[in-house]
Amino acid sequence: MHVPDGFINAPTSAVAGVVAAGAVAVSLRGARRELDERTAPLAGLVAAFIFAVQMLNFPVAAGTSGHLLGGALAAILVGPCTGVLCVSVVLLMQGILFADGGLTALGVNITDMAIVTTVVSYAVFRGLLKVLPRRRRSVTVASFVAALVSVPAAAVAFTLIYWIGGTTDVAIGKVATAMIGVHVLIGIGEAVITALTVGAVIAVRPDLVHGARGMEQRLKLRVNGELVDAPAAAPAPVAAPAARSHRKVWITGLVASLVLAGFVSFYASASPDGLEKVAADKGIDQKEKEHAAAGSPLAGYGVKDITDARLSGGLAGVIGVGVTVVAGSAVFWAVRRRRTDDVSPADTSSATSV
């Protein structure tokens, strides 16, 4: 959902704008590493693809249909930095050309839909790939989970921004319930479509899937009726082994904490069924209010407030974990980037084209 002007107050929008600008600047540097001098045409075409695929309607049932948001898909197919860039450019153009999402809310929209979805989904994806066996099937499974987590994560980020700078005082528990409840459902659709799409690309051009690099089947030769590994054509890219082992621990821990804490606190406070039930109750109440005289819904509100209080307690935990994970992964990426910068020689291409 694109946030329009006036929904988030001016100072918060400005802060979100600064965050978005910083992240885009970092991604611009990172995208050069992922795509070297081909960045402009390739990222542009991938952005056009994201833009087009958002118009592809997936029918759900009885006339309703959904579409892909594309953050997780972009991160897995072309890498996190290029993914952030592509989705940000799509949002920028939607804001300026189609008036979809406000100009002042651009920072909020980019932070929420481009950065949070891409970074969270890529962190989850990488973490799962470390744990799962190295097979193509696990790429599909990991992209399913990554997309599934990324959409509610964006909803949590939006709720957080709304909590800081929302212009209406709808109770934060209600906003969180509505946003996260709806986006868990959307996330399931997103996850299925993302996994199927990644699977389709992997079946045809596995080399194009950024998330599946290093998963290629080794070429086997049949020599005298026996299968032997073909000699590697080119030396494999050397990765610093020390850094890698750290990385493994880091990402696995991060993902485990995110998944466990997020889901466990969900279950501890109220089961997802409860969430849906609250939403349904609320919807029914509204209809009743329109028909019957006012006053009686207050009783309903009393009961609902209790559930909301419990929920908001649980959701505060989820939001807290979300903040920690985002902050932690920010630190993690910063540290990792510095380390790789130290290891790799200064690349000339970025020096000339900055």
Partner 1 sequence: MGAGHAHRLYRHGHSPVHALPPHTKLAAAFAFVVVVVSTPREAVWAFGLYAVLLATVAAVARVPAGFLLKRLLIEIPFVAFAVLMPFVAQGERVEVLGMSLSVNGLWGAWNVLAKGTLGVAASVLLASTTELRELLLGLQRLKLPPLLVQIASFMIRYGDVITDEMRRMRIARESRGFEARGVRHWGVLAKSAGALFIRSYERGERVHLAMVSRGYAGSMPVIDEVTASGAQWSYALALPVTALVVCLLGWTL
Residues 64-123 that bind partner 1 (CB under 8 A): 68, 77-78, 85-86, 89-90, 92-93, 95-100, 102-105
Verify binding: residue 167, partner 1, rule CB under 8 A: yes
Interface with partner 1: number of residues (CB under 8 A): 84
In angstroms, the CA 31 to CA 143 distance is: 21
Examine residue 206 and tell whether it contacts partner 1 (CB under 8 A). no
Contact between 127 and 112 under an 8 Å Cβ cutoff? The reply is: no
Q: Which two tokens stand for residue 328?
A: 């932690």
Site string for partner 1, 254-283 (x = CB under 8 A): ----------------------------x-
Using CB under 8 A as the binding rule, whether residue 28 contacts partner 1 is answered as yes
Instruction: Tell me how far apart the terminal alpha carbons of the chain are, to the nearest angstrom.
Output: 34
Q: How far is the CB of 59 from partner 1 (least distance, A)?
A: 5
Nearest residue (CB) to partner 1, 217 versus 352: 352
Pick from 18, 22, 25, 253 the residue near partner 1 by CB under 8 A: 25
Distance CA 46, CA 85 (A): 10
Tell me how far, at minimum, the Cβ of 143 lies from partner 1, in Å: 11
> Between 245 and 353, whose beta carbon lies closer to partner 1?
353
The smaller minimum CB distance to partner 1, of residues 176 and 258, is found at 176
What is the Cα–Cα distance from 287 to 325, expressed in whole angstroms?
39
Could you say whether residue 347 binds partner 1 (CB under 8 A)? Answer: no
Q: Answer for the pair 146, 193: CB distance below 8 angstroms, yes or no.
A: no
- 179 near partner 1, judged by CB under 8 A: no
Alpha-carbon span 147 to 122, nearest angstrom: 9
- The residue among 296 and 344 lying less far from partner 1, judged by its C-beta, is 296
Q: Which amino acid is at 240?
A: A
- Round to whole Å and give the CA distance between 75 and 51: 15
By CB under 8 A, which span of 142-150, 291-299, 312-320, 335-343 interacts with partner 1? 291-299
Angstrom CA distances, 354 to 28, 44, 347, 348, stand at 10, 18, 12, 10
Residue 149 touching partner 1 (CB under 8 A): no
- For partner 1, the binding residue among 18, 22, 60, 131 (CB under 8 A) is 60
Q: Which is nearer to partner 1, 84 or 321 (CB)?
A: 84
Residue 220, CB-side half-sphere exposure with 13 Å CA sphere = 7
Coil, strand or helix at 223: strand
Among 18, 56, 323, 334, binds partner 1 (CB under 8 A): 56
Q: Which residues of 277-309 are buried (b: 16+ CB within 10 A; e: fewer)?
A: ebeeebeeeeeeeeeeeeeeeeeeeeebeebbe
Residue 293 lies near partner 1 (rule: CB under 8 A): yes
| Residue 338 interacts with partner 1 (CB under 8 A): yes or no | no
Q: Within 13 A of 142's CA, how many CA atoms are on the CB side?
A: 26
**What is the spatial distance between Cα 159 and Cα 176, in angstroms, rounded to a whole number?**
6
The interface with partner 1 within residues 296-335 (CB under 8 A) comprises 297
Find the binder of partner 1 among 22, 57, 163, 338 (CB under 8 A). 57
Q: Is 223 in the site for partner 1 (CB under 8 A)?
A: no
Q: Which stretch binds partner 1 (CB under 8 A): 125-133, 200-208, 220-228, 331-339?
A: 200-208
